[in-house]
Amino acid sequence: MNESHAKKECVVTGVAGFVGSHLAERLLAMGHTVVGVDNFFSGRLHNIASFREHPNFSFCRADVREQNLLDRLKRAHPGLKYCFHLAAIVSVPYSMDYPDRTMEINYQATVRLLGEADRLGFTAFIFAGSAAEYGDDQRTPLLEGYATERTRHLSPYGRSKFLASKQVESSLRGASLRFFNIYGPRQDPGSQYSGVISRFTDAAAKGRPLTILGDGQQTRDFVYVADVVDAYILAAGLKGKNGAMPRGIYNIGTGKSTTILELAEAIKRACDNNSGLKFLPERPGDIRHSLAAVDKFRDTAGWEPRVDLPDGLRHTLNFEST
């Protein structure tokens, strides 16, 4: 077996979250071993139900702020070499209310885990970055170099993710993936952490009006969760160009822009929803326009988004109707 495709042992923090559960599921399907970490602050037990009893999966209920967390996990699982760090405060409004807690979890805990991974000789440390790291930068598409110390971040969430990404970038084993708007099956529409697509599809399927925050002219780059998982796998060197790991900071999006109004109308049509739209004030801290430049990761790792928005919406709606 090619070494890059041999069985690996991986840690996934935030494993009970929307993206973390999809990532763990894929790693297990590829034949790898997964140690999942979550404290259920925003993750949900039902997200890991499909693989909770998998023979290659182990679960550790823990907070990522725990000192020497990776040391403890490696003592129990000596073969651990890959860390996918997704656990975080992911709500912009929550970060506005609790900035210190957000910085402690998103930045300080990340730096501590990265240091442990370096000391323990991990092969890869893959961090979940965010488009919010670009703050109020209105240039489009957004290039990775646009986020700097001078960037005016619109929330503690964006600032904490930026600081953590820069630390990860400085590591010999680190890659930070700046994700734009992720959507897909298993995203909880009732959670304060949910994305606009999960909220829209839930309302449309129930015949309710779709609620838009602001005027609906905001634009987003929506990327399907399966494509996001592909990016994680490539970033860790578990697939792709000779198993090489691309280090640094990379945007993960589609490079295509959609207004919130366009999105709402597309979902209403797909659900045959005629209940109209409801407009509420825009949330403080939200970015007006967001579009990824995706050339860097494509050229480095060979990644391309495979699922376009209409297909992704169909997959999401089909999942929610089951």
Q: Per-residue pLDDT tens, the chain, 322 aa: give them.
A: 344 568 999 999 999 999 999 999 999 999 999 999 999 999 999 999 999 999 999 999 999 999 999 999 999 999 999 999 999 999 888 999 999 999 999 999 999 999 999 999 999 999 999 999 999 998 999 999 999 999 999 999 999 999 999 999 999 899 999 999 999 999 877 665 567 998 899 899 899 999 999 999 999 999 999 999 999 999 999 986 556 788 999 999 999 999 999 999 999 998 999 999 999 998 776 778 899 999 999 999 999 999 999 999 999 988 866 6
DSSP for residue 7:
-
CA distance 179 to 221: 9
Per-residue model confidence (pLDDT) at position 281:
94
DSSP bridge pairs for 223: 182
Q: Which DSSP state fits 292?
A: B
Calpha distance 170→114 (Å, rounded): 10
| Cα atoms found within 13 Å of the Cα of residue 12, Cβ hemisphere only | 31
**For residues 30 and 23, is the Cβ–Cβ distance under 8 A?**
no
pLDDT of residue 294: 97
Output the CA angle 162-167-168, nearest 5 degrees.
95
Spatial separation of the C-alpha atoms in residues 279 and 213, rounded to whole Å: 6
Is 256 within 8 Å of 296 (Cβ atoms)? no
Question: Phi/psi of residue 82, each to 5°?
Answer: -125, 130
Phi, psi (degrees; rounded to nearest 5) at 192: -65, -15
For the chain, the domains span: 3-186+223-253+291-306
Pick the CATH number of 3-186+223-253+291-306 from 3.40.50.720, 1.10.630.10, 3.40.50.300, 1.10.510.10: 3.40.50.720
**Three-state SS at 234:** helix
Q: Return the SS3 of 268.
A: helix
Amino acid at site 83: C
| Cβ–Cβ < 8 Å for 226, 307 | yes
Q: How far apart are CA 262 and CA 274, in angstroms?
A: 15
Q: Which residues are catalytic?
A: 157
CB atoms inside a 10 Å sphere around CB 10: 29
Q: How far is Cα 57 from Cα 36, in angstroms, rounded to an integer?
A: 7
